[in-house]
Amino acid sequence: MRIRDNTCEVGRGGLHCRLRLLVTTAAALMAISSVAIGQSEEGVRAAFLFNFAKFTEWPASAFADDRAAVVVGFIGADALAVSFERNVAGKNVNGRDFVVKRLDAPGAAENCHIVFVGDPASTLATLGVLKGKPVLLVGEGEGFVTAGGMIGFIKDGARVSFDLDLQAAGASRLRVDSKVRQIARRVRGG
């Protein structure tokens, strides 16, 4: 960039000139590296759900055909459901679109491929209804996994992490990719 200010012509290195050069250079460098990070917790969790769909393998019988959508159900997690639905629009995994369902009762979760249990009161009932069925069960906290869930989100410092129970996933004929395993804070049954 050519500096047109007369006081900053080449060879005239006064204080004013040097300050301007310093500020301009700093601004340019900062512009290059500027990436503001400021996501909501729901946003991060929703993106994790998207990735879980991407890196989980369901048995062929879980889908009607090769193009059938991945059905994601939410029990009592409105904010997360909104974030997921809004951001997943137009996206697909392995050629499958997404269908988002808000579920009133665990019984309605049987036709889903992923169920997020945001209502603690429904945890045990949901786990009972879906036991052995090829549904990826995601919930909140370590307690969700110890209760029989497959993935439990936890807040690890300033970041969102999760515990993973491969044994529970395997019992439901789900194969979770090693990429997910590598990121999990704790892996059970691996």
Partner 1 sequence: MKVNRKYDMDKMPSFSGAVSVCGGQVMPFWFCRAVLAAAAVLLFSSLNALAIEDSGLFDLSLEELSKVEVKSDIASIRAKPIREQPGIVSVITAAQIREIGARDLSDVLMLVPGFALDTDVQSMVGLTFRGLQGQEGKVLLIVDGIEVNESLYGSLPILNHIPAEAIQQVEIIRGPGSAMYGGTAGLSVVRVTTKAAGRTGGYAVFTPSYVDGDFTWNYGFGLTFAEGDWRLALNSSYSDGFISNRKYTSLEGTTLDMTDLSGMYVSFIDLGIGYRALDIRLVLDLYRYRDAIYFGEPTEVASRTSFDSFLASVKYGWKLNNWLEVTPQFTYREQDPWNAESEELGNWYVHARRYQFEVNSIAELSHRSSVMLGARYQRDSADEERPESYEGHGDDTITSDDIAGYAQYDLDTKWVSVSAGVRYEDHDAVGGDFVPRIALTKAWDAFHIKALYSEAFRTPGLYVAKDAIGGVIDAEHTVNYELEGGYRFSDAVSWVANLFYMKVDQPILYDSGGSGDADDGYYNGTTRLSAYGLETELRLNLRQVSTLIGYSLYTADDNDIDYVRGDAGRFLAAPAHKIVFSGTWRIARPLSWNLNGFWLSKRLAYVYPGDAAYELDTELIINSFLEYRINRYSFGLGVANLLDEDRWAAQPYAGGSGPVPLKGREIFVRLSREF
Task: Tell me which residues touch partner 1 (CB under 8 A).
Answer: 23, 26-28, 30-31, 33-44, 46-48, 50-51, 55, 83, 86-88, 91, 119-121, 123-124, 139-144, 146-147, 154-161, 179-180, 182-183, 185-188, 190
* Tokens of residue 2, six digits: 């050519």
Residue where the block lists tokens 């869930």: 149
In whole angstroms, how close is the CB of 27 to partner 1 at the nearest point? 5
Q: Are the C-beta atoms of residues 73 and 109 closer than 8 Å to each other? A: yes
Q: Which amino acid is at 107?
A: G
Alpha carbons 52 and 63: distance in angstroms, whole number:
17
In whole angstroms, how close is the CB of 79 to partner 1 at the nearest point? 11
In whole angstroms, how close is the CB of 143 to partner 1 at the nearest point? 4
User: Which residue lies nearer to partner 1 by CB, 133 or 161?
Assistant: 161
Contacts of 129 (CB under 8 A, 6+ apart): 106, 107, 109, 110
In whole angstroms, how close is the CB of 189 to partner 1 at the nearest point? 10
User: Which residue lies nearer to partner 1 by CB, 129 or 160?
Assistant: 160
138 CB neighbour count, 10 Å cutoff? 26
User: Which residue lies nearer to partner 1 by CB, 111 or 124?
Assistant: 124
User: Which residue lies nearer to partner 1 by CB, 141 or 170?
Assistant: 141
Q: Are strands 175-176 and 56-57 parallel, antiparallel or unpaired?
A: antiparallel
Alpha carbons 115 and 100: distance in angstroms, whole number:
10
User: Which residue lies nearer to partner 1 by CB, 78 or 111?
Assistant: 78
